[in-house]
Structure formats: structure tokens, C-alpha cells
Amino acid sequence: MITGDVVIPWGGCRFILASVSARYTHAIVVSVEPFALVSEGGDMVWSATVKPEFFTPLCQAHPDIVAVAVARWNRDKSNPTGLETTHKNGEAHHGQ
């Protein structure tokens, strides 16, 4: 996987891309090391709770989408909230 890949949880994985109020079918890889994903709209970030082996790459996202996702990741890196948690069912949530 590389930055800009659109990924989905692979079939044998019980991982769900989710927030408190929504579920996401896919995400954009914004960092390989550390591995991190951002939703297409830039409203969600997953890092501590995700691993590359949980996901299958589909294609490369449009450069405009990658720019939004990377900008969100960079904002979070420079001002971490520390609100990401993993719930019993494996869902990752990240507060804003």
C-alpha cells in the first residue's frame, strides 16, 4: 500500500471503519509508517487502531481527495486530540 490508495477492510477481517454516528465503506491511506487512514471527506482519522493487514487496496484516489485526506492527517499530527478509542466490537472511533 502507498499514500493515496483507497482501501476497504478485507473479507476475513472483523474491522469496521466507523465513527460515533457513521460507518465508512472505504478510506484513504495517508501514511504508511505509521499506518494511518482518513475518510474520503476528511472527517475521520484512524491510526492507532488500524493495521495494513486489515485492508485491501482498490485503486488510487483522485489527487484532490488525497490532498484533503493528507491535510487532515497533517492537522491531527500537529495537534493530536488523543480521543481515538477501540470498542469491544472492533470499531475504531476518533473524536474531533
The angle subtended at Cα 8 by Cα 70 and Cα 93, nearest 5°, is 65
N- to C-terminal Cα separation, the chain: 26
Q: How far is it, in rounded angstroms, from Cα 57 to Cα 83?
A: 27
36-93 tens-digit pLDDT? 999 999 999 999 889 999 999 999 999 999 999 999 999 988 766 544 433 334 455 4
> Taking the domains of the chain in order of start, what are their residue ranges?
5-81
pTM passes above 0.85:
no
Residue located via cell numbers 486489515? 54
At 74 the pLDDT is 94
29 is written with which cell numbers?
491511506
- Section 15-27 average pLDDT: 90
- Section 14-39 average pLDDT: 92
